[in-house]
Chains A and B, each alone.
Chain A
Amino acid sequence: MNSFLKRLFVALIAAGLILPFLIVAGVSINANSNISFPPTELSLQWYTVLFTDKDWLMPIRNSLAIAVVAALVSVSIALAANYVLWRLKSGFGRLVFALGIGPFMLPPIIIAMGASVFWAEIGMYGRIEATIISHGVFFVTLPLVIISRGFATLSDDVVEASRTMGATPWQTFRKVIFPLVLPYIVTGYALVAIISVNEYLISYMVSGFAVETLPIRIFNNVRYGYTPVVASAAMAFALLTVAVLLVLSMITDLLKLLGAPRN
Chain B
Amino acid sequence: MKRLSPAHLIGLFPLGMMSLFFLGPLAFMIVVSFYKRDPLGFYDVAFVWDNYAKFFSSFYYTISMRSVWSSALGAVIVVLLAFPAIYIITDMKRRWQLFWIILLLSLMCLSEVILGFAWLILLSESSGIPKFMGWIGLWQDPHSLSPSFGAMIIGFVTLGFSLVALMFYPQLAQRDRSIEEAALTLGTSPPRVLTRVVLPNYRGAIIGAVVTMFVYFLGVFVMPTMLGRPQDWNMTVIITDKAVGDANMPLGSALSVIMLLFTLLIIGLLMLASRKEHRS
A6 touches B114 (CB 8 A): no
Asked if B8 CB lies within 8 Å of chain A CBs, one says yes
* Contact of B7 (CB < 8 Å), options: A77, A84, A95, A200: A84
Which chain A residue lies CB-closest to B99?
A14
In whole angstroms, what is the CA distance A234 to B243 when docked? 28
B174 touches A195 (CB 8 A): no
B110 touches A241 (CB 8 A): yes
A107 touches B218 (CB 8 A): yes
A109 touches B240 (CB 8 A): yes
Which residues of the other chain, A, contact B243 by a CB distance below 8 angstroms? 113, 116, 205
A109 touches B113 (CB 8 A): no
* Contact of B102 (CB < 8 Å), options: A19, A81, A134, A242: A242
Asked if B190 CB lies within 8 Å of chain A CBs, one says yes
Q: Chain A's interface: helix, strand, loop or mixed, by majority?
A: helix
A19 touches B219 (CB 8 A): no
In whole angstroms, what is the CA distance A238 to B219 when docked? 23
A105 touches B215 (CB 8 A): yes
In whole angstroms, what is the CA distance A197 to B11 when docked? 28
B11 touches A92 (CB 8 A): yes
Interchain nearest-CB distance for B92 vs A (Å): 8
Offer 27 A-B interface pairs, CB within 8 angstroms, sorted by A. A14-B103, A17-B107, A23-B122, A35-B124, A81-B11, A88-B7, A99-B18, A99-B19, A105-B267, A107-B218, A108-B220, A110-B260, A111-B22, A115-B21, A138-B22, A191-B109, A198-B111, A204-B240, A215-B112, A218-B111, A237-B114, A238-B110, A241-B106, A255-B98, A259-B173, A260-B173, A261-B173
Interchain nearest-CB distance for A94 vs B (Å): 11
B25 touches A118 (CB 8 A): yes
A109 touches B221 (CB 8 A): yes
In whole angstroms, what is the CA distance A107 to B84 when docked? 26
Chain A 83-110: CB-based contact to B (< 8 A → 1; otherwise 0): 1100110001101100110110111111
Contacts A36-B126, A88-B8, A260-B174; A96 near B14 (Cβ below 8 A) = yes
Asked if A249 CB lies within 8 Å of chain B CBs, one says yes
B118 touches A117 (CB 8 A): no
Kindly count the residue-residue contacts between A and B in the assembled complex, taking CB atoms under 8 Å apart. Answer: 284
Which residues of the other chain, A, contact B136 by a CB distance below 8 angstroms? none
Instruction: Give B residues with C-beta under 8 Å from A.
Output: 5-8, 10-11, 13-15, 17-19, 21-26, 28-29, 32, 42, 81, 84-85, 88-90, 94, 97-98, 100-103, 105-122, 124, 126-128, 131, 158, 161, 166, 169-171, 173-174, 190, 212, 215-216, 218-222, 225-226, 235-236, 239-240, 243-244, 249, 252-253, 256, 259-260, 263, 267
A120 touches B236 (CB 8 A): no
A84 touches B23 (CB 8 A): no
B252 touches A237 (CB 8 A): no
Leading 6 A-B pairs by shortest Cβ distance: A107-B219, A259-B170, A20-B118, A114-B25, A198-B111, A37-B127
Which chain B residue lies CB-closest to A192?
B109
Asked if A165 CB lies within 8 Å of chain B CBs, one says no
Which residues of the other chain, B, contact A191 by a CB distance below 8 angstroms? 105, 109
B29 touches A169 (CB 8 A): no
Known: A9-B88, A23-B128, A234-B117; 18 extra A-B contacts, CB below 8 A, are: A23-B122, A36-B127, A88-B5, A92-B11, A99-B15, A108-B220, A109-B218, A110-B260, A113-B239, A113-B243, A114-B29, A116-B252, A137-B21, A191-B105, A230-B117, A237-B110, A245-B109, A249-B98
B126 touches A35 (CB 8 A): yes
In whole angstroms, what is the CA distance A110 to B249 when docked? 13
A245 touches B113 (CB 8 A): no
Which chain B residue lies CB-closest to A107?
B219
Interchain nearest-CB distance for B266 vs A (Å): 10
Asked if A154 CB lies within 8 Å of chain B CBs, one says no
Asked if A263 CB lies within 8 Å of chain B CBs, one says yes
A218 touches B13 (CB 8 A): no
In whole angstroms, what is the CA distance A237 to B235 when docked? 29
B103 touches A27 (CB 8 A): no
Interchain nearest-CB distance for B213 vs A (Å): 11
Chain A 69-86: CB-based contact to B (< 8 A → 1; otherwise 0): 000010011101101100
In whole angstroms, what is the CA distance A121 to B41 when docked? 12
A35 touches B263 (CB 8 A): no
Which residues of the other chain, B, contact A6 by a CB distance below 8 angstroms? 88
Interchain nearest-CB distance for B135 vs A (Å): 10
Q: Which of B114, B126, B226, B243 has the most CB of A within 10 A?
A: B114
* Contact of A255 (CB < 8 Å), options: B28, B97, B109, B117: B97
B114 touches A110 (CB 8 A): no
In whole angstroms, what is the CA distance A54 to B11 when docked? 43
B28 touches A140 (CB 8 A): no
* Contact of A199 (CB < 8 Å), options: B11, B25, B111: B111
A260 touches B114 (CB 8 A): no
* Contact of B161 (CB < 8 Å), options: A17, A115, A134: A17
In whole angstroms, what is the CA distance A52 to B105 when docked? 30
Interchain nearest-CB distance for B64 vs A (Å): 13
